DNA sequence: CAAAATTAAACAAATGTTTGATTAATTATT
DNA sequence: AATAATTAATCAAACATTTGTTTAATTTTG
């Protein structure tokens, strides 16, 4: 069982699904791009749906660990933890923007119900961790009284708003079509700066 | 030429595209749900792609007018204009959440290129209007120095983050699957309150 | 040699679209 | 006002592709 080849198929699938969506990508497209026989996808994964599931599993759970690491860091204050959350998410979504886009599609459309529920469940746990950081800040009177869930939604939503569409990115950056926002450090810094500013002004007392 | 029937087909298409996506909706599904013959879609619109274009045109441009109305209202201060922008968007996305979801899909996937560019262009104009409100607030020293585009992205992104997935909504509201967040007034108020809080704390001097 | 991997070909089902015939509605002509 | 002529609307059926999947034979590998 060649794990290399399975991974290669999954990685090619991520590229295509991110670009054209799940229904918009045929197994023949995938096989052609990955340079394998059409039958190999079903041979390795059983079906196109199961390939999708394998793809999600393949990449998931990273953020969860990262967030827990930040939340349990006793050397950090609550606002420092929020800063770390912001940086972690921006980095994650920038480097894994294709995968992230696929997850977002599935979240919106709710086709493969199992996968959809899985994503909601993962997201639910992440929300809880960030919520607890914010609530602790509020208890310590370091933070103002805010809506914890929606505060997290604002952070994630801002990143998604600019990152999920390349056209949107380039509109905000006044760049042309060839510019790749996902590897541009200036853009990354701009988002992080804005998110910290918004979070600080929302949360911190004066 | 029965405009009623064309509209009926478009409205049914909005429901199905929002639920299952463009590729996930077959003309047969659509014809069945709209209770018309399969051939009628091509008879009226020419093709599935052109139906999509007609659908976008059918609903677009409303937000643009609303924003311009707000921006040019001389009885409002800048922060009052921002509040009005927030309320307009929340109301719009709540009532037109299916259409909004379709637009979002097209923004992400960039399949029908013409439609995609059209949406970017529409969005670009809306961004400019809001940007100018913020910049005027900054010039008058009523607003702090912020990133105008990303401030707008945060507002829209927050709404999208919670509105584009029913599962996400219900997660945030601790409701069960039968709950319909798009018609719930408590939810709407919660989002508006949070967005105003975030915008005020970010923009207003102390 | 046996198991695993790979292949080209075929499968049935689903897709968007077109056809050609039929009915309904509109317009023109008497 | 009645009839004929013309256009528009509707339909079931068929069209050619494309889809995901399977088969059965072949090659590679351990």
Could you list the beta-strand ranges (E) of B14-169: none
At A127 the pLDDT is 94
Q: Which nucleotide is nearest to A40 (CA to C1')?
A: C6
Q: Does residue B201 belong to the interface with chain A, where contact is any CB pair within 8 Å?
A: yes
Give A5's Cβ-side CA count (13 Å radius): 11
Q: What is the pLDDT of residues B79-132, one digit of tens each?
A: 999 999 999 999 999 999 999 999 999 998 888 888 899 889 989 999 999 999
Query: Could you tell me the distance in Å between the CA of residue A102 and the C1' of nucleotide D27?
Result: 36
B45 vs A128: CA distance, rounded Å: 47
Q: How many CB atoms lie within 10 A of CB B69?
A: 11
Q: Do B117 and A167 touch (CB under 8 A)?
A: yes
Closest CA to B82 of B173, B187, B199: B199
Instruction: Please tell me whether any atom of strand C lies within 7 Å of the Cβ of A3.
Output: no
For the record, the structure tokens of A39 come out as 């039958």
Instruction: Please tell me whether any atom of strand C lies within 7 Å of the Cβ of A43.
Output: yes
Query: Could you tell me the distance in Å between the CA of residue B63 and the C1' of nucleotide D18?
Result: 39
pLDDT at residue A107 tops 60: yes
- Average pLDDT of B62-75? 95
Q: What is the pLDDT of residues A32-79, one digit of tens each?
A: 999 999 999 999 999 999 999 999 988 877 899 999 999 999 999 999
Give pairs for A121-127: CB < 8 Å, separation 24+. A122/A60, A122/A61, A122/A63, A122/A64, A123/B168, A123/B171, A124/B171, A125/A64, A126/A63, A126/A64, A126/A67, A127/A152, A127/B171, A127/B172
At B166 the pLDDT is 86
> What three-state secondary structure class fits A143?
strand
Position B1 confidence tier, pLDDT thresholds 50, 70, 90: low
Q: Does residue A118 belong to the interface with chain B, where contact is any CB pair within 8 Å?
A: no
Q: Is B11 left (phi over 0), alpha (psi -120 to 50) or beta?
A: alpha
Q: Could you tell me which residues are beta bridge partners of residue B143? A: B204
At A2 the pLDDT is 65
Q: Do B104 and A108 touch (CB under 8 A)?
A: yes
Domains of chain A (ranges plus CATH)? 1-46 (1.10.10.60), 59-203 (1.10.357.10)
Query: Could you tell me the distance in Å between the CA of residue B82 and the C1' of nucleotide C17?
Result: 48
Quote the mean pLDDT of chain B: 93
B126 vs A94: CA distance, rounded Å: 25
Quote the mean pLDDT of chain A: 92
pLDDT at residue B53 tops 90: yes
In this structure, what DSSP letter does residue A183 have?
G
pLDDT at residue B168 tops 60: yes
């Amino acid at each position: 069982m060649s794990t290399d080849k399975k991974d290669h198929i999954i990685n090619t699938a991520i590229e295509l699904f991110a670009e054209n969506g799940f229904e918009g990508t045929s197994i023949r497209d995938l096989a052609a791009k990955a340079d394998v026989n059409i039958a190999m996808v079903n041979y390795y994964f059983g079906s196109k749906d199961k390939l999708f599931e394998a793809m999600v599993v393949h990449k998931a759970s990273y953020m969860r660990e990262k967030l827990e690491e930040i939340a349990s860091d006793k050397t950090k204050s609550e606002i420092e933890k929020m800063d770390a959350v912001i940086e972690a998410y921006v980095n994650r979504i920038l480097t894994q923007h294709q995968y992230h886009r696929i997850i977002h599609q599935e979240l919106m459309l709710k086709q493969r119900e199992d996968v959809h529920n899985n994503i909601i469940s993962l997201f639910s746990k992440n929300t809880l961790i960030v919520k607890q950081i914010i609530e602790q800040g509020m208890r310590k009177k370091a933070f103002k009284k805010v809506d914890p869930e929606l505060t997290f939604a604002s952070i994630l939503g801002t990143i998604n708003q600019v990152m999920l569409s390349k056209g949107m990115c380039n509109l905000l950056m006044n760049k042309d079509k060839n510019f790749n926002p996902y590897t541009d450090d200036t853009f990354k810094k701009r988002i992080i700066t804005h998110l910290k500013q918004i979070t600080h002004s929302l949360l911190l007392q004066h």
